[in-house]
Amino acid sequence: MDKTSYTNLAKAWEFVEDHAYARQHETLAGIRVQAEEAGLNQGSAAQAEFLRMLAVMTRSASVITVGSGSVVEILQLLDALDGSGQLTAVDSSSQGIAFIRRMFLALADAMQTTLRAVNAPVSVFLPRLNGADYDLIVVSGDAANYADTFAQAPRLLKPHGVIVFCDMLAFDDEAANGGVLNPADRSEKATAMRQLLDTVEADDRFDSALTAIGTGMLVAVKR
């Protein structure tokens, strides 16, 4: 690909993001504003929309989100569950989990989906869950979340279950200096994402693909 092609791809990313943002319904847009005003940065609209579609494609009934201060993504996943199944949100951030709990409380009477919000490190909470019980796991947030969650994924996921790692390019980290794209960026998140990519791709229990959706997503399917 030549330089013009890469420039066009950058413009295409912007178009897709703007299109996904415009498609968000009024409730979702309102939650985004509330979350950002509460200091919880919300990620790519196209990424959240893709996660919803992935949950629909895999007919997910049981979903875990890890370190997801992105309530927009959680709402998109809840929409995919279509009023059934269960969604467990795990976050070690008290601010993030408090917002998610308030949102779950407001939604509880309007749906049959079982909602659970847990304020705990993933290394402590995930080992307590039943094995082979989950269709989809979505990971974001602090660097430590990724390796700890992947360590539990083979046990937690059903056959053909999916784990998605968001921000694989480490653009959202406050200490980022170009993220994974910049070899000189040795920040904790960028370093962790490089190691995670090697680890997941080398694991013969999963088929995986790195995509440029949002700030980079690694999608891995349990064999």
pLDDT of residue 68: 65
Give the total number of structural domains in the chain. Answer: 1
pLDDT of residue 92: 83
The series of mean pLDDT values per 10 residues for the chain, 223 residues long, is 87 95 91 89 92 97 89 94 95 88 88 93 96 97 94 98 97 89 96 98 98 96 97
What amino acid is encoded at 168 in this protein? M
Which of left, alpha, beta for 59 (phi over 0: left; psi -120 to 50: alpha)?
A: left
Instruction: Quote the Cα angle for 81-156-221, to 5°.
Output: 75
CATH at 191? 3.40.50.150
Domain containing 42 equals: 3-222
* End-to-end alpha carbon distance in the chain: 33
Q: In what order do the strands lie in the sheet with 62-66?
A: 114-118, 86-90, 62-66, 134-139, 157-165, 217-222, 206-211
